[in-house]
Amino acid sequence: MDLWVTEKQTEIMAISYKVKKTLHSEKTEFQELAVVETEQFGRMLLLDGIIQTTIGEEFVYHEMMAHVPLNTHPNPKKVLVIGGGDGGVIREVVKHPAVEQAVLCEIDRRVVEVSRKYLPEISCGLDDPKVTVLYADGIKHVKENPNTYDVIIVDSTDPIGPAEALFTEDFYHSVAGALTKDGIMVAQTESPFVTPDLVLSCYKRISSALPLTKVYLAHVPVYPTGMWSITMGSKTYDPEKVDKTKISSYPTRYYTPEIHYAAFALPKFVQDLLNEKAK
Amino acid sequence: MDLWVTEKQTEIMAISYKVKKTLHSEKTEFQELAVVETEQFGRMLLLDGIIQTTIGEEFVYHEMMAHVPLNTHPNPKKVLVIGGGDGGVIREVVKHPAVEQAVLCEIDRRVVEVSRKYLPEISCGLDDPKVTVLYADGIKHVKENPNTYDVIIVDSTDPIGPAEALFTEDFYHSVAGALTKDGIMVAQTESPFVTPDLVLSCYKRISSALPLTKVYLAHVPVYPTGMWSITMGSKTYDPEKVDKTKISSYPTRYYTPEIHYAAFALPKFVQDLLNEKAK
């Protein structure tokens, strides 16, 4: 049998990977959850049929979500990850020497449990003594914890279904409220090629909540077009004014001090898109 | 009818785009040539079923192939493009104010003719008075024209079939011979995620022919994984030591002086791959 998993990334574009076998499939309280083993990138996590991460290239997204804000903040002691139940971002967060406490707030307990079972290379960070896992609604959590976190990382699924509320101006204001006085947030904000309007609206919404907002890019093979945007909102620190020689050194596979800067060099069409903000 | 074009990018990975209609399809002397109209990226050129370029995102690849070497060389008067019959790289080359003569050496006349008809936005540069189009074998051309070009751009198809010879050490030595004493070459060298061995072998082979060899990256949505490598071999000039304030200004949609530098900031796993060269 020639088995393939196909994600219709949009109504008019699809990506397919040859599958060795299906390891897990269930309908949780919140979504359809599956793990398949692909030939190209090894084990792959899907939520509602949308590829979330794979063993072969997960490091790009997880490192870029974690290390850019962590190395922009001079002392990120307390970090919150909203979503990200696979544990990949948390695994990166606890690498940073300044981090004392890392909280994962994931609404769907089954994502964590299944990731622990089938994606141990990704979920291993969840066992770190610095980590607390909460099975809770991230929106409620940030509202109930003002002035608490140095860095908040919004590792959401796409803005359809359960994650839609994680892309609203209201939510970003709650996140800003949950940050300490010099805190930093980042959120994954999709592809400038496929959903430029969404990239722009996230930029505008985060800008409305936090004074310094910048977009950076990473090459994520399994996401539509491979060009993925992450938007940072910061109260004080500018990610492009970090002293490169002071960036913490720990093992990474994508992130480097040079990549920290290079990621903010936006292609002209992305710059032009964000400049529409002024209009 | 729900019509899709699917490219098996490897035996285990495929990308598909919804198609409005097929505009052209023929078997030329060298390859199968097709133009389809996709919903995502507009008109798309395929050779032997492999996506070459699309109206919607062609600017990334064409600009990055042309402007990085052109702005590394202080006076790129004479430029050769091998392959690239769609004309996209040539269109970018003639934007540069120093360029006096641009030669396109394409083996398959039908690629040029069909691109002129169906992809005028891409092929329009072919009509520039600075441009000469040769329907010839690029390998023969560089051998027969020593010490001639300031910049040579190898815009080949994948290293299977007709283009295989454009990825050999022999060929890179011939290119080096066709360059003037301070000349620069670049070649598209595929995806570090999918064909790391090829990226490494191109790097080694170009290094054997030219003293300063560097790899840079661009986000090309329609190529496998979206992360595409381009390898530069240079006799004298270092692309990372260009005076940013002296980079020529002309309209672009991806390339900027900041992108020129950022593109050379390689992810750690790509750095590690290239460091294997020393082993």
For chain B, report the end-to-end CA distance as a whole number of angstroms.
54
Which of B219, B253, B262 has its CB closest to that of A219?
B219
Q: Hey, how many other C-beta atoms are within 10 angstroms of the C-beta on A197?
A: 10
Angle of helix A196-209 versus helix A169-178 axis, rounded to 10: 40
3-state secondary structure of B1: coil
pLDDT band at B278 (very low <50, low <70, confident <90, very high): low
pLDDT of residue A232: 98
pLDDT band at B279 (very low <50, low <70, confident <90, very high): low
Q: CB–CB of B188/B206 below 8 Å? A: no
Nearest to A98 by CA among A210, A250, A239: A250
Mean of pLDDT over chain A: 96
Judged by CB atoms closer than 8 Å, whether chains meet at B256 and A267 is answered as yes
Q: Hey, how many other C-beta atoms are within 10 angstroms of the C-beta on B243?
A: 9
Task: Give the residues across from B33 on adjacent strands.
Answer: B26, B47
Judged by CB atoms closer than 8 Å, whether chains meet at A12 and B6 is answered as no
Q: What is the mean pLDDT of residues B78-92?
A: 98
Q: What is the ipTM of this complex?
A: 0.96
Q: CB–CB of A148/A74 below 8 Å? A: no
Nearest to B115 by CA among B182, B43, B30, B211: B43
pLDDT of residue B160: 84
Which of A225, A254, A261 has its CB closest to that of B226?
A225
A149-to-A90, A101, A181, A182, A210 alpha-carbon distances in Å: 14, 9, 9, 10, 14
- The burial class, CB within 10 Å (0-12 / 13-18 / 19+), for A249 is exposed
CB interface of B with A, residues 49-68, below 8 Å: 56-57, 59-60
Positions of chain A with pLDDT under 70: 277-279
Which chain B residues are closer than 8 Å to A57 by Cβ?
193, 225
A231-to-A59, A68, A166, A262, B264 alpha-carbon distances in Å: 18, 11, 13, 15, 22
Query: What values do phi and psi take at A87, rounded to 5?
Result: 90, 0
As a three-state string, the secondary structure of A257-277 is: HHHHHHCCCCCHHHHHHHHHH
Q: Is A39 in the B-facing interface, judged by CB distances under 8 Å?
A: yes
Here the tokens at position B60 are 């990334």
Chain segment B226-277, per-residue pLDDT in tens: 999 999 999 999 999 999 888 888 999 999 999 999 999 999 999 999 998 6
Judged by CB atoms closer than 8 Å, whether chains meet at B227 and A217 is answered as no
Annotated active-site residue A150? The verdict is no
Q: Which residue of A has its CA nearest to B15?
A: A15
pLDDT of residue A246: 85
* Pairing, β B4-10 against β B13-27: antiparallel
Judged by CB atoms closer than 8 Å, whether chains meet at B267 and A10 is answered as no
pLDDT of residue A248: 82
Chain segment A99-141, per-residue pLDDT in tens: 999 999 999 999 999 999 999 999 999 999 999 999 999 999 9
The letter for the amino acid at A238 is D
Q: Is B257 in the A-facing interface, judged by CB distances under 8 Å?
A: no
Nearest to B80 by CA among B52, B99, B60: B99
* Pairing, β A179-188 against β B149-155: unpaired
Mutate to test the interface with B, among A9, A12, A36, A215 (most CBs of B within 10 A): A12
Distance, in Å, from the CA atom of B217 to the CA atom of B191, rounded to the nearest integer, reads 9
pLDDT of residue A277: 60
Which of A60, A227, A255 has its CB closest to that of B219?
A227
pLDDT of residue B162: 75
pLDDT of residue B277: 60
pLDDT of residue A163: 87
Which chain B residues are closer than 8 Å to A267 by Cβ?
60, 219, 253-256, 259
Q: Is the pLDDT of residue B184 over 90?
A: yes
Which of A4, A12, A255 has its CB closest to that of B40?
A12
Alpha helices in B132-256 (DSSP H): 138-144, 169-178, 196-209
Selected catalytic residue, list B155, B158, B197, B243: B155
Helix (H) or strand (E) holding A111, with range, is: helix A109-118
* Pairing, β B179-188 against β B227-234: antiparallel
DSSP B183-216: EEEEEE---TTT-HHHHHHHHHHHHHHSSEEEEE
Here the tokens at position B6 are 């699917």
Q: Which residue of A has its CA nearest to B219?
A: A227
Which chain A residues are closer than 8 Å to B6 by Cβ?
16
For chain B, the residue count is 279
Map out the domains of chain B with their CATH numbers.
Answer: 4-53 (2.30.140.10), 58-278 (3.40.50.150)
Mutate to test the interface with A, among B268, B269, B274 (most CBs of A within 10 A): B268
* Pairing, β A101-106 against β B212-219: unpaired
